[in-house]
A = this chain, B = another copy of it.
């Protein structure tokens, strides 16, 4: 079985870890031997201190490879700040973006390889050779795409544009975004293997990642959305919203910026052209689009067991839909 998942950062990475745990423990040989490909958002990539940083790729790689800081949910466990403290002593900016020493080594390898002409796909494969995340981890594109955000917090509401990370990390998305743009997305090409992984998948899964700045930017890379629309595989997603609030992070601020309500039904609407199955929380209103199969399941990834069960439920729904397809 070939499973292809789109993913953002922390939430996506945790869901994927649950998926791998579910597959490994399954009595079904087809699930135990399933091959998982992850198409990662790269639009929150950023260059700080000359280092090229790919937060979402690294969150998936560290989480699945056993190096993640479990408490923060991002970055490396048992981190130190030898470099960062010194950068601060030099007055180097930005000082609000935390870079641990272990993490910096990853960025040094990436930055050097990119400077030497390697693609981000090649860099990611090299880094993953160490981490062995148990999935094939692909960036959505090898081209540079960066999400920028327009804020209207200047005098008299004057707008200014900042990198997504500045809005997200420095401002905690507390300043309303007027506009969110994945700069470079329209000119980008899917990275090698991405379209095939979607076309040839038996199941396509959307973890509960941010529908705007994670899944949303992946879908903006020309060809990816069409490949998902056209794939024969069932496409099943997990709502990132419970009872009108994001499960994790500040997806509500992103949804507000694009004028979409923070509800499980509204997020499903963003995927209306390809979504076959949708998992929502018990108390939430189901979207009513004909042909969309909705199931209510506990969505909180509160423990490894709960997360594995959630991933299993998504897979169950997908295989049920595939069976219907075959029976029809």
Contact = CB atoms under 8 A, between A and B. Distances in A.
Contact of A108 (B85, B89, B92, B130): B92
Interface in A107-139: 108-109, 111-112, 115, 126-127, 130
Contact of A109 (B80, B90, B109): B90
A304 interface: no
Given A50-B108, A108-B49, A112-B50, A102 B82 contact: yes
A126 B91 CA distance: 10
A228 to B, nearest CB: 33
Nearest to A99: B108
Nearest to A84: B105
Q: Is the interface of A mostly helix, strand, loop or mixed?
A: helix
B130 A105 contact: no
Given A90-B105, A109-B87, A100 B82 contact: yes
A89 B106 CA distance: 10
Contacts of A186: none
A83 interface: yes
Contact of A83 (B89, B108, B115): B108
Contacts of A112: 49-50, 92
14 contacts: A49-B108, A50-B108, A50-B115, A80-B80, A82-B82, A82-B101, A83-B102, A85-B105, A86-B101, A86-B105, A90-B106, A90-B109, A92-B105, A92-B112
Given A80-B101, A82-B82, 5 more contacts: A50-B108, A82-B102, A83-B83, A87-B109, A90-B105
Q: State the 6 A-B residue pairs at the shortest beta-carbon distance, nearest first.
A: A82-B101, A86-B105, A50-B112, A80-B82, A83-B105, A86-B102
Interface of A: 49-51, 79-80, 82-87, 89-92, 100-102, 104-106, 108-109, 111-112, 115, 126-127, 130
